[in-house]
Structure 1
């Protein structure tokens, strides 16, 4: 695996340098389009609608169109945004793990310690295990500010991006508003059926049969000589720079705890503390 991002995981004054790796990969057989008549590769070109010329990727910017006006955003514009410059994964809060809605979970990434000593990394991992908490974090990746859940998987910290609240649709189905009567016998038989299929989930016991058969079909065509010579070149993303060493972990922890307690104590003594806390959450 190759790191796709480098930065620092921060909570309080504690700084944990990490490398980020994609935790999943697509196992689908890669396919592309060809001309049915002669097998020639079908490729798409980026053509400017104004001059009809093919535009190199390096000369392409992005734009926002509100229907009447277009605002062009250059690479420098995106680079100037604060979130784009950030190389930190900031812990916002630690929440009970059961409060994470599985529907909001998105892409998963592994975090590897990126320092001479993994002590701060291991301490955070053990703390999450001992408290049965999940860290909610914010970070920036590929020109997007992301919300994510930081949790433990085995000996590794896993960062799993979360969908924003407005990205999850409400399930409103009129058919479910109707009152449905379920008899005790129907419920009993349904429970018996569930019990007959009960077992412990082992992902390795399941396979993508479609992809296996597709691969077998391709191998058979190759064996029969039903193929043409091709050449392909694949590039890889450059590694990013970032991260730093933790100078004094114990001192940072103590200072963070003291600062957090002082902040909470000051907030609780304010008469409008509850209102402010709700606004901050929002």
Structure 2
């Protein structure tokens, strides 16, 4: 793995030099965009809108529109906007793990100690493990400030980038129904949930979509018609809820026996 950020993580007056690594990877199949007429690849070009000529990456800068012109920003300007947050993951408080809503989570990153940071790294790791707490921290990466949570995953410190409050849309804008549900239906649904409740096994869940998509690609490459699995997505009608719940419970019981 290649580190994507170098700096330090701090809590109180303790500073731990660390490297940041992406803790996940994109497993989507790499597909090219083609012209449907001759299957030639479609390419994007960075073009000067005044001259129409292509511009090389080395000649591209970032600018902020102000009045009739632009204020050009260099790499140093982004770093200097907040030097501390550019170089430090600063833990500002600690919270209980169950206080955080899942909707806030974005992406995990692994933290690795740099030279001289081993003991202080293990100190934070053991303290978090003993208390069951998460550290709330802010830092800047790729010209953007991030809110994050520092915790543990498989005996390594992991940093979860989470969303700021103003990044979460208001669900009050959704058109939600207020249809009444019978108490018996709720009890039946609770029973179904309890039947399906088990200890979470991370290894049990696999991303099979890419594998299935590759089978379709390979089938089409040989001129064969890919097999399509039929799926009934008909919504359950309100007056059919109890029957469906009972059938689901019976199905689960028969599988367990």
Whole-Å separation in 1 of the counterparts to 2:40 and 2:22: 33
Whole-Å separation in 1 of the counterparts to 2:50 and 2:79: 27
Contact 1:17 1:113 in 2 (8 A): yes
Gaps of at least 5 residues in structure 2 are 224-257
Q: Give the 3 Å change call, closer, same or farther, for CA 77–51 of structure 1 in structure 2.
A: farther
**Deviation at residue 222 of structure 1 after TM alignment:** 6.2
Alignment of 1:154-233 (within 5 A): 154-172=154-172, 176=176, 178=178, 180-220=179-219
- SS of the aligned residue for 2:171 comes to coil
TM-score of the superposed pair, with normalisation by structure 2: 0.76
Q: Give the 3 Å change call, closer, same or farther, for CA 196–86 of structure 1 in structure 2.
A: closer
Look up the match of 1:102: 102
Q: Give the 3 Å change call, closer, same or farther, for CA 41–118 of structure 1 in structure 2.
A: same
Total equivalences in the alignment: 222
Look up the match of 1:19: 19
TM-score of the superposed pair, with normalisation by structure 1: 0.70
Contact 1:84 1:144 in 2 (8 A): no
- SS of the aligned residue for 1:122 comes to helix
Q: 1 or 2 for the larger relative contact order (CA 8 Å, sep ≥6)?
A: 1
**Deviation at residue 123 of structure 1 after TM alignment:** 0.8
Contact 1:84 1:141 in 2 (8 A): no
Q: Give the 3 Å change call, closer, same or farther, for CA 47–207 of structure 1 in structure 2.
A: same
Q: How large is the Cα RMSD of the aligned pairs?
A: 2.6
Gaps of at least 5 residues in structure 1 are 225-282
Whole-Å separation in 1 of the counterparts to 2:174 and 2:8: 47
